[in-house]
């Protein structure tokens, strides 16, 4: 099993360019997540998808959009990149029932994005 | 509202000595608590998870954590540090209540000296 895969691993953009980060999981998980990690900080939740067909905002959604393409895939789009979006982006998935306690999240290897 | 405070940004220990990484939290509901480890330029890996079954939780690689509700703490310990334990450790609070909420602590960098 590959677990959670992310593409690309590295990306450099100019301010105003757009791009889509791809994420896929092969664990038949219901829930998927996008985080960003900045120096000296923990991960912050951008968007999540509790189940196929649903998406919801997390802590820092501004400047991003997401698509839950199917149960396996969850993409993150930057429509007009800004230098403040320079970060490492992690995708994660979990089994989840959607109530009460949370399940373990399994993380991808990350995408290092630089916006000039 | 949720919050997570990792009380030390850096901890340095000698190989073979005990490790203590401290975490305090607050939550409005009954959260799940996690410790994840991140090695340089890698994704995060679960060390252990608390979900109210037992207050002392054992994880991988000899790590364990004790949930203390009265102190709202979830400190991570290991009896004897190994060089391979050098990494960043994150305490995490997550819960489903009116949507999914998760807060990561800022992280504690563990250094292990030979």
**Tens place of pLDDT for every residue, chain A, 116 residues?**
689 999 999 999 999 999 999 999 999 999 999 999 998 888 999 999 999 999 999 999 999 999 998 999 999 999 999 999 999 999 999 997 555 668 899 999 999 999 99
SS3 label, residue A71 = coil
Tens digits of residue pLDDT in B29-67:
778 899 999 998 888 999 999 977 788 999 999 999 999
Contacts of B10 in chain A (CB under 8 A): none
Say yes or no for a CB contact (<8 Å) between A110 and B34.
no
**Angle at CA of residue B36, ends A53 and A49, nearest 5°:** 5
Neighbours of A7 (CB within 10 A): 12
A63 contacts: CB under 8 Å, gap ≥ 6: A78, A79, A80, A82, A84, A85
d(CA B35, CA B104): 10
Give yes or no for B60 touching A (CB within 8 A).
Answer: no
CA torsion, points B60, B63, B64, B65, in degrees to nearest 10?
A: -110
Q: Shortest CB distance from B104 goes to which of A42, A50, A106?
A: A42
**Test the A interface: residue of B30, B32, B44, B67 with most A CBs within 10 Å:** B44
Q: How far is B80 from chain A (nearest CA, A)?
A: 26
Q: How far is B83 from chain A (nearest CA, A)?
A: 22
Neighbours of A5 (CB within 10 A): 15
Q: Scanning the structure block, which residue is given the tokens 């997540």?
A: A33
Tens digits of residue pLDDT in A84-105:
999 999 999 999 755 566 889 9
d(CA A14, CA A85): 11
Give yes or no for B59 touching A (CB within 8 A).
Answer: no
């Amino acid at each position: 099993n590959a677990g959670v895969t992310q593409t690309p691993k590295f990306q450099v953009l100019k301010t105003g360019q757009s791009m889509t980060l791809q994420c896929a999981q092969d664990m038949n998980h219901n829930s998927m997540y996008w985080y960003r990690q900045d120096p000296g900080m923990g991960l912050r939740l951008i968007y999540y998808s509790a189940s196929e067909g649903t998406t919801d905002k997390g802590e820092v959604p501004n400047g991003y959009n997401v698509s839950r393409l199917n149960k396996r895939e969850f993409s993150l789009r930057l429509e007009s990149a800004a230098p403040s979006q320079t970060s490492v982006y992690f995708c994660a998935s979990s089994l989840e029932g959607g109530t009460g306690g949370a399940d373990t999240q399994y993380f991808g290897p990350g995408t290092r994005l630089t916006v000039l | 509202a949720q919050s997570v405070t990792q009380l030390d940004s850096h901890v340095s220990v000698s190989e073979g000595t005990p490790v203590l990484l401290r975490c305090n939290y607050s939550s409005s509901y009954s959260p799940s608590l996690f410790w994840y480890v991140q090695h340089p330029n890698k994704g995060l890996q679960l060390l252990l998870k608390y979900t109210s079954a037992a207050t002392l939780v054992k994880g991988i690689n000899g790590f364990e954590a004790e949930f203390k509700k009265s102190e709202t703490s979830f400190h991570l310990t290991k009896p004897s540090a190994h060089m391979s334990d050098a990494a960043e450790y994150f305490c995490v609070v997550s819960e489903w209540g009116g949507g999914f909420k998760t807060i990561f602590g800022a992280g504690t960098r563990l250094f292990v000296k030979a």
